[in-house]
């Protein structure tokens, strides 16, 4: 009962319909600026049978090829979301987005691959797999996530975490942590209840940034002790981010994943003067934003953006975990019962473009790295994914920097009846999504059918594991004197 396991899905379980434009197995994207994480240049991209065949200027093709004009636009690798929960069961109910609606939404927003999590069933991860296989056909693993929060449900203590870190190292599997101090969160919840604060505001008040910082620091130090890489999911606070910065500065292999909601939102809705009225009128209005760790107060968002821009944090996820307003309303009188989680799988690419590229904080090359390439490297599927190179899978998006996007629950593709980015507008619009060589999103139209997505195997021993053995050997060598002494005295 101590962790969930990371599973990769590409091209979505939705796949494509056989509409004339998308059924062609040959595709040419003409005249765009092709952007990879290493550089960008004007080039055409030619695709055959789902694979990128050529990336060069002025490619000539016959009439049997479907041609897309990308003049003045960016042609980039499809987004990879490292952190989603589709069809997740919790406390007896299931999230509204399953592998069809969640991935359809992803494609409409330029994300062509998502990494989801198998949850254990009655403490058993193998049993969890069986349930999961029915939800998403096939599965394989190269990472495990440990929850340091959710006490009494799925939390691990230090002993288990330490054991898990060692096991991960032996498998070449990346250890991920949900870093909040679960014991202290429980105490914080108790305190709020005693104070009579039972509404949604009790949620962030009961689990302040310090508890995230503490657990992040503890996980980092334990991973250092074991000498294994660590991936901190949903970094939501300055406190956690600074622990990661410190560890990276000292040379430790720690990856920090901020998520779209943490970068783009703050908790000002909690302190709205009309809070009572609003919360009463629409019980879900406030609980809608609840997730763990909580969306923090103003300032954390900007600091996380800066950390992402400067390489302290490496990639962006969403933690897409959607409950509709009826499900969210279940805990309206007791914040401890509010289902945790927010949407983002469809919005991430636009939101990150808007807040990071349009604000001038990062280059377009960096955008590709943060939304796709780095994820592919960390989870060991680069350059099959995360690149526009000959031989890579044809998961491609075309973004028009002069067009604009608007987010509303009315027009989104998730099954959720709400959207935490409701009303948000910005520049930069993903006009085309190509998944596995097929056009699945074009002219604001989604062309998907269930069951055609592919499971993507992610092998263990990513680059993060290179050289760990050398460090271990140096450490063991440094113990020669005490080992000798121990031997001579026994
Ligand atoms: O509130 C959240 N984050 N829900 C999803 C599960 C998790 O902790 O990642
Ligand atoms: Zn190039
Ligand atoms: Zn989590
Ligand atoms: Zn999550």
pLDDT of residue 167: 94
Q: Single out the residue of 256, 255, 207, 252 nearest to residue 235, CA to CA.
A: 256
Whether residue 443 is contained in a domain is answered as no
The number of the ligand nearest the C-alpha atom of 95 reads: 1
How many angstroms separate the alpha carbon of residue 439 from the centre of ligand 3?
Answer: 33
Per-residue confidence band for 137, with pLDDT thresholds at 50, 70 and 90: low
pLDDT exceeds 70 at position 104: yes
The answer as to whether 430 is a domain residue is: no
* Mean local confidence (pLDDT), 73-99: 94
Surrounding residues of ion ligand 3, Cβ less than 5 A: 178
Give, as residue ranges, everything with CB less than 5 Å from ion ligand 4.
319
Q: Do 423 and 454 touch, CB atoms closer than 8 A?
A: no
Are 317 and 82 in contact by the 8 Å Cβ rule? The answer is: yes
Task: Flag whether pLDDT at 283 surpasses 70.
Answer: no
- Ligand 3 center from residue 292 Cα (angstroms): 6
User: Which residue is it, tokens 């031989």?
Assistant: 391
First to last CA, the chain: 41
Q: How high is the pLDDT of residue 140?
A: 38
Q: What tens digit of pLDDT does each residue of 14-37 get?
A: 333 333 344 569 999 999 999 999
Q: Say if residue 288's pLDDT is above 90.
A: no
> Per-residue pLDDT tens for 205-264?
999 999 999 999 999 999 999 999 999 999 999 999 999 999 999 999 999 999 999 999
Coil, helix or strand at residue 288: coil
Residue 346: both structure tokens together? 């469809």
Which of 292, 335, 343, 344, when mutated, tests ligand 1's pocket best, judged by the most ligand atoms within 8 Å of its CB? 292
Domain extent, residue 328, equals: 3-11+79-387+401-417
Whether residue 39 is predicted with pLDDT greater than 90 in this model: the reply is yes
Whether 53 maps to a domain, the answer reads no
The ipTM (two decimal places) reads 0.93
Which pLDDT score is estimated for 90? 87
449 pLDDT band, cuts 50/70/90, is: confident
In a domain, 95, yes or no: yes
Structure-token pair, residue 99: 């592998």
Q: Answer yes or no: is pLDDT of 290 > 50.
A: yes
Ligand 1, atom 9: closest residue by C-alpha = 319
- Average pLDDT of the chain is 90
Q: Where do runs of H (alpha helix) occur along 179-323?
A: 182-194, 202-206, 209-226, 238-249, 260-264, 275-281, 284-287, 300-309
Strand partners, 149: none
The mean pLDDT of 426-439, rounded to a whole number, is 96
Tokens 């939705």 belong to residue: 14
* Contact status, residue 394 vs residue 436, Cβ threshold 8 Å: yes
Helix (H, G, I), strand (E, B) or coil at 123: coil
Q: Mean pLDDT across the stretch 95-110? A: 94
Q: In the chain, what percentage of residues exceed pLDDT 90?
A: 76
Q: Quick one: how far is CA 452 from the chain centroid?
A: 22
Sign of the Cα torsion 35, 38, 39, 45 reads negative
Phi, psi of 381 (to 5 degrees): -125, 15
233 alpha carbon – ligand 4 mean position (Å): 7
Sequence-separated (6 or more) residues with CB below 8 Å from residue 114: 8, 9, 12, 80, 81, 84, 86, 102, 103, 106, 320, 345
Give a yes or no: residue 188 inside a domain: yes
Q: Which tens digit of pLDDT belongs to each residue from 378-405?
A: 999 999 999 999 999 999 999 999 999 9
Identify whether 429 is part of a domain.
no
Specify the higher pLDDT residue, 321 or 9: 321
Give DSSP secondary structure letters for 144-168: EEEES-STTTT---HHHHHHHHHHH
Q: Whose CA is nearest to atom 8 of ligand 1?
A: 292
Residue 215 forms part of a structural domain:
yes
Give the distance (Å) from ligand 1 centre to CA of residue 342.
8
- Per the domain annotation, does 263 fall within a domain? yes
Nearest CA to ligand 1 atom 3: 292
Q: Give the CATH number for residue 116.
A: 3.20.20.140
What average pLDDT does range 42-60 have in this prediction?
97
- How many distinct structural domains can be found in the chain? 1
441-443-449 Cα angle (round to 5): 35
Task: Report d(CA 490, CA 480) in Å as an integer.
Answer: 16
Q: Residue 453: which pLDDT band, with cuts at 50, 70 and 90?
A: confident
**Looking at ligand 1, which atom is closest to the CA of residue 321?**
5
- Compute the distance from residue 38 Cα to the ligand 4 centre, in Å: 29
Tokens of 194: 């005693």
Q: How far is the CA of 293 from the centre of ligand 1 (A)?
A: 8
pLDDT of residue 280: 55
Is 90 exceeded by the pLDDT of residue 126? no
Q: Which residues line ligand 1 (CB under 6 A)?
A: 85, 178, 234, 291-292, 319, 321, 340-341
CB 206 within 8 A of CB 212: no
Q: Which ligand is nearest to the CA of 37?
A: 2
CA distances from 397 to 26, 59, 68, 402, 441 (A): 16, 19, 11, 15, 9
Structure tokens at 472: 């271990």
Cα 288 to Cα 342: distance, rounded to the nearest angstrom: 7
In this prediction the pTM is: 0.93
Is the pLDDT at 9 greater than 70? The verdict is no
What is the predicted pLDDT for the residue at 12? 40
């Amino acid at each position: 009962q101590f962790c969930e396991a990371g599973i990769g899905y590409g091209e979505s379980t939705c796949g494509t319909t056989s509409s004339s434009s998308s059924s062609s197995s040959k595709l040419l994207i003409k005249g765009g600026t092709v952007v990879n994480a290493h550089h960008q240049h004007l080039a055409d991209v030619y695709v055959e049978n789902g694979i990128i065949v050529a990336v060069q200027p002025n490619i000539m093709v016959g009439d049997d090829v479907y041609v897309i004009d990308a003049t003045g636009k960016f042609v980039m690798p499809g987004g990879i979301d490292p952190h989603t929960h589709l069809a997740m069961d919790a406390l007896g109910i299931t999230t509204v987005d399953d592998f069809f609606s969640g991935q359809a939404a992803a494609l409409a927003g330029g994300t062509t691959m998502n990494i989801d999590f198998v949850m254990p069933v009655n403490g058993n991860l193998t049993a969890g797999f069986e349930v999961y296989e029915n939800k998403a056909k096939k599965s394989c693993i190269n990472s495990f996530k440990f929850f340091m929060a959710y006490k009494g449900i799925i939390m691990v203590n230090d002993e288990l975490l330490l054991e898990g870190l060692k096991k991960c190292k032996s498998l070449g599997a990346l250890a991920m942590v949900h870093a909040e101090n679960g014991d202290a969160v429980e105490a914080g919840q108790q305190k709020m209840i005693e104070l009579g604060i039972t509404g949604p505001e009790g949620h962030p008040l009961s689990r302040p940034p310090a508890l995230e910082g503490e657990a992040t620091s503890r996980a980092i130090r334990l991973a250092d002790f074991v000498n294994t890489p660590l991936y901190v999911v949903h970094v939501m606070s300055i406190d956690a981010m600074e622990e990661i910065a410190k560890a990276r500065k000292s040379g430790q292999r720690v990856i920090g994943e901020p998520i779209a909601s943490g970068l783009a939102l703050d908790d000002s809705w909690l302190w709205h003067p009309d809070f009572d009225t609003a919360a009463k009128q629409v019980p879900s209005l406030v609980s809608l934003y609840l997730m763990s760790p909580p969306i923090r107060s103003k300032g954390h968002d900007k600091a996380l953006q800066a950390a992402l821009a400067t390489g302290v944090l490496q990639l962006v996820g969403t933690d897409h975990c959607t409950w509709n307003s009826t499900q969210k309303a279940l805990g309206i009188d007791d914040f401890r019962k509010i289902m945790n989680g927010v949407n983002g799988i469809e919005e991430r690419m636009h939101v990150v473009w808007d807040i990071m590229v349009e604000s001038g904080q990062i280059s377009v090359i960096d955008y590709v790295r943060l939304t796709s390439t780095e994820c592919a490297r960390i989870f060991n599927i680069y350059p099959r994914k995360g690149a526009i190179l000959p031989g890579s899978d044809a998961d491609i998006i075309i973004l028009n920097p002069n067009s604009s996007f608007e987010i509303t629950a009315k027009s989104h593709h998730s099954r959720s009846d709400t959207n935490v980015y409701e009303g948000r507008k910005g520049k930069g619009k993903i006009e085309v999504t190509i998944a596995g060589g097929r056009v699945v999103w074009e002219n604001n139209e989604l062309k998907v059918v269930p069951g055609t997505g592919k499971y993507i195997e992610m092998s263990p021993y990513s680059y993060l594991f290179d050289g760990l053995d050398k460090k271990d050997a140096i450490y063991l060598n440094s113990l020669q004197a005490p080992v000798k002494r121990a031997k001579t005295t026994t």
